[in-house]
Structure 1
Amino acid sequence: MNQNRAAAAPMHEQLRQDAKGAILFDATVSPQVDGPWFDADHWRALGALSTQSGGRGGVAIIHTPAGECVLRHYRRGGMVARLMGDRYLWSGADRTRSFQEFRLLQAMAKQQLPVPQVLAAQYRRAGLYYQADLITRRIADAHTLAESLTQGRLDAELAREVGTLAARFHRAGVWHADLNAHNVLIAPTGLYLVDFDRGRLRTPEQSWRMANLQRLRRSLFKLGAAAQGEAVFDQAIWTPLMDGYEETLGA
């Protein structure tokens, strides 16, 4: 299923364009979004930048008129990052990573899937390339599944909830391009999935669903979840996770 076609007309989408790029935003969240919103230095000068991290995501926590939000600058990973950094090949506004993720988040929100509320997306074009940014509402008092694991708080009950979470998205045909323990958030209001860069809607098939789950399993292994052996991990964590997954997928 084509992601853009599935979410071609988000309910509250507004578009602002200029000679160098465009901003897509949800006017029900904020009636006015302009270029400085995507500049971490702008928020720093206002004393409204609380934390910022480097790395691939380039994530900053900003305090906006619409509330506390996450500003993410798109960056490449792997070997190609040395050559391209934060630049992507231009192939049209609707194919920019920021606009695609904005629309996918809106499509998932309409299905009442637990994702961050998207506020705005931007691209800035220079010749054959563009750079991009996304703003979403911050999920309050949340921590990652990876943090729960390293703090010894990943048990069978939480694993089952994670399986249920994954199944909800898979039932809706949502493929997460990087399903790992860092992209599962645990908050007082429940569990969420974040970072849908390159994600899309797909025709439900067992092959990609299982590949998605195996990616999550590998990330848990990398974080030391199987330190006591794979058999112990399977019994204590993976079996409950898959029980929650299968039960929800078949509901």
Structure 2
Amino acid sequence: MSSTAALPAGHHIIVHPDLQEPVTPQWFMPEHWQQLNAVHGSATGRGAALFIQYNGIEMVLRHYRRGGLIGKLIHVHYLYTGLPGTRAWQEFTLLMYMRKHGLAVPEPIAAQVIRHGLTYRADLITRRIEDAKDVFTLLLDTTLSERNWQDIGNTIRAMHDLQVYHHDLNIHNIMCDKHNKVWLIDFDKCAIRSGHAWKQKNLDRLLRSLRKEQGKHSAFQFSEQDWQQLLVGYQRT
């Protein structure tokens, strides 16, 4: 991984080693991409994201924002304890680690951290997963096959075998592309953990999210048998 030189004090950018384009601070500014007519959509919410198409690369620009009560007071600033401890650096390096080991997660392109005294703000650019939808959206329109559910379970198991803890493993953070390949996304606040007890808690969180959406949406096509098929895939070695 390389970083861009000649930046102001407290300004750090890390770049994927295979990226040929020089990454500047402008890459993390929505106005820059809007001026280039490169913006092709956005996602709202706390994890607000901008979808960008540039030089044949589909990218997602995400600004780190706080959630919960503190997020109403402090939107984008976090306590700075060193560059390795920043949200962007941790997510970038974790994505690189998982992709190195063959896990289907977004490819990191670049990350930025700007320090302001005791705090910092941060941004992350990843490659957009082509022709993919989150499983929540899919289940509003159709059922998934037994093989689909098993593949989801198998992909989660692969993540757990790498000892990666997903902070928010819910049905919105699992995607399937047009080839039915399963992808895991949103690794903010995720990390490598020792031990095994937390893995069941990850699965429990996912099941709660499925049951929650089933209770909220009459069109949501999920059954307990689907969950059993997911577990078949998860337990497969």
The aligned counterpart of 2:229 is 240
Whether 2:107 is the aligned partner of 1:114: answer no
Please give the per-residue CA displacement for 1:135-180, whole angstroms capped at 9, x wherever unaligned: 0101100000111111132343322211111101011111111101
CA-CA distance at 1:134 after TM superposition: 0.4
Whether 2:144 is the aligned partner of 1:164: answer no
**1:11-90 equivalence runs, <5 A:** 12-16=1-5, 17-65=7-55, 67-90=57-80
What is the distance in 1 between the residues matched to 2:99 and 2:134? Answer: 20
Q: Which 4+ residue blocks in structure 1 deviate beyond 4 angstroms?
A: 225-228
What is the distance in 1 between the residues matched to 2:127 and 2:212? Answer: 29
What is the distance in 2 between the residues matched to 1:60 and 1:226? Answer: 28
Q: Tell me the matched-pair count.
A: 232
State the AA in 1 paired with 2:186: D
**1:146-225 equivalence runs, <5 A:** 146-189=136-179, 190-205=181-196, 207-224=197-214
State the AA in 2 paired with 1:14: S
- State the superposition RMSD in angstroms: 1.9
Please give the per-residue CA displacement for 1:23-69, whole angstroms capped at 9, x wherever unaligned: 00013123410101011111011100111223101200011236110
State the AA in 1 paired with 2:101: Q
What is the distance in 2 between the residues matched to 1:179 and 1:110? Answer: 21
**Aligned partner of residue 75 in structure 1, secondary structure:** coil
Q: TM (normalized to structure 1)?
A: 0.87
Inter-CA distance 164–48: structure 2 relative to 1 (3 Å threshold): same
CA-CA distance at 1:240 after TM superposition: 0.7
Report percent identity of matched pairs. Answer: 37
Please give the per-residue CA displacement for 1:205-246, whole angstroms capped at 9, x wherever unaligned: 1x1000000111111112117989xxx832x21111111101
CA-CA distance at 1:204 after TM superposition: 3.9
**Aligned partner of residue 61 in structure 2, secondary structure:** strand
Runs of at least 5 residues in structure 1 that lack an aligned partner in the other structure: 1-11
What is the distance in 2 between the residues matched to 1:195 and 1:18? Answer: 29
CA-CA distance at 1:15 after TM superposition: 4.6
Structure 1 contact 25–33 (Cα < 8 Å) conserved: yes
Inter-CA distance 217–30: structure 2 relative to 1 (3 Å threshold): farther
Runs of at least 5 residues in structure 2 that lack an aligned partner in the other structure: none
Inter-CA distance 30–225: structure 2 relative to 1 (3 Å threshold): farther
What is the distance in 2 between the residues matched to 1:40 and 1:81? Answer: 21
Structure 2 contact 98–105 (Cα < 8 Å) conserved: yes
The aligned counterpart of 2:123 is 133
